[in-house]
């Protein structure tokens, strides 16, 4: 699929950290999975050297599957093309140029057929609410002043922009129209999404910590932490919540560091520090994790 922007164009936010609606950016279902969105180089945009290389977004499992099969189609067909080119060069050398050409034409046809077939299958796996069979989120990087995104779904574009309304910059006329339309539509028909935004029943800090510790996904864990921090009554509760989230967040890194030593370990720590500094996580968690990793790097 081309690089055409989603309806509403680019959403630009004056911050490295931002709020994410906890729903699927493709179909709008409740998020039960997450994806890593790589930095996308868009024409005319040069990301800053300290831009995040990737960001995590909540997604739904069904849409993760159709995006994976869409992207897998391109990889498979590129593989078929490569084998076809190598084989036709070999045949052209040992047999005849004509036989090599015939083989090449055949490889092109098969590769195109595979991509069409696989992508049709990915499109068929989409639900009626899906915005697009391919990735619904593009991260266009941190410019030094702003983070930029584009989305396939106009509804999600509006929801994302609303979640970050105080930080929006360079709002295009299309995005302004989209936001206004979304506001009017929501006033006319209250959506289930509005109900999902009501405050969850209060839980004790213990219960929140258990929830944070039992959540495998980083995006979901950080989302729970943010809600728990907003509800926490005391500074001690907040500190305890942050410690719990940090323990789970850093566990995979610690396991990796245990196998490293010397300069390799130092490098891995520096990379992790850069990633957390560029990442999108609650500021309190970010500060705690950076302090912990700096301490480990210095020791």
- Binding residues for Zn ion (CB under 5 A): 24, 26-27, 29, 60, 63, 130
Taking the complex as a whole, how short is the minimal distance between the CB of residue 292 and Zn ion, in angstroms?
34
Closest among 135, 139, 132 to 11, alpha carbons compared: 139
Least CB distance to Zn ion at residue 222 (A): 20
Contact 52, 139 (CB under 8 A): yes
Query: C-alpha distances in angstroms, 164 versus 17, 21, 149, 152, 161?
Result: 10, 10, 12, 18, 5
Give me the least distance between CB of 26 and Zn ion, in Å please.
3
All residues at 6 or more sequence positions from 282 whose CB lies less than 8 Å from its CB, including other chains: 17, 222, 225, 226, 229
In the complex with Zn ion, the residue whose CB is nearer, 63 or 179, is 63
> Maximum CA pair distance of the chain?
80
The residue to which tokens 């969850």 are assigned = 200
Q: In this complex, which beta carbon is closest to Zn ion, that of residue 24 or of residue 250?
A: 24
Residue 63 Cβ vs Zn ion, minimum distance, rounded to whole Å:
3
Cβ(6)–Cβ(150) below 8 Å: yes
| 3-class secondary-structure state, position 138 | strand
Instruction: Give me the residue label for tokens 């609606």.
Output: 21
Q: Are 157 and 11 in contact (CB under 8 A)?
A: yes
* 24 versus 245: smaller Cβ distance to Zn ion: 24
Residues in the chain: 299
Minimum distance of Zn ion from residue 147's CB (angstroms): 23
* Residue 270 beta carbon to Zn ion: minimum distance, rounded to whole angstroms: 36
DSSP state letter for 165: G
* Residue with Cβ nearer Zn ion (131 or 209): 131
Question: For Zn ion, which is the closer residue by CB, 27 or 168?
Answer: 27
**In terms of CB distance, is 68 or 92 closer to Zn ion?**
68
């Amino acid at each position: 699929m081309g690089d055409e922007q989603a309806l509403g164009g680019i959403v630009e936010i004056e911050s490295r950290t931002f709020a994410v609606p906890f729903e699927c950016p493709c179909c709008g279902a409740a998020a039960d999975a997450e994806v890593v969105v790589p930095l996308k180089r868009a024409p005319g945009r040069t990301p800053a050297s300290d831009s995040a290389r990737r960001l995590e977004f909540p997604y739904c499992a069904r849409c993760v599957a159709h995006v994976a099969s869409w992207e897998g189609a391109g990889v498979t067909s590129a593989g078929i093309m490569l084998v076809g080119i190598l084989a036709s060069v070999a045949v052209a050398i040992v047999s005849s140029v004509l036989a090599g050409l015939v083989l090449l034409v055949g490889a092109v046809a098969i590769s195109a057929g595979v991509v069409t077939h696989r992508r049709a299958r990915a499109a068929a796996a989409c639900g009626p609410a899906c915005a697009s069979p391919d990735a619904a989120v593009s991260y266009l990087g941190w410019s030094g002043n702003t983070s930029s995104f584009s989305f396939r779904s106009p509804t999600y574009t509006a929801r994302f922009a609303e979640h970050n309304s105080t930080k929006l910059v360079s709002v295009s006329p299309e995005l302004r129209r989209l936001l206004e339309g979304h506001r009017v539509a929501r006033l006319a028909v209250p959506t289930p999404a509005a109900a999902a935004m009501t405050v969850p029943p209060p839980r004790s800090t213990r219960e929140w910590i258990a929830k944070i510790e039992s959540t495998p996904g980083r995006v979901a864990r950080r989302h729970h932490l943010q809600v728990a921090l907003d509800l926490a009554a005391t500074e001690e509760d907040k500190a305890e919540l942050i410690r719990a989230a940090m323990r789970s967040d850093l566990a995979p890194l610690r396991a990796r560091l245990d196998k490293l030593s010397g300069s390799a370990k130092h490098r891995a720590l520096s990379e992790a520090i850069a990633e957390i500094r560029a990442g999108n996580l609650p500021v309190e968690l970010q500060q705690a994790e950076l302090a912990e990793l700096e301490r480990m790097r210095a020791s």
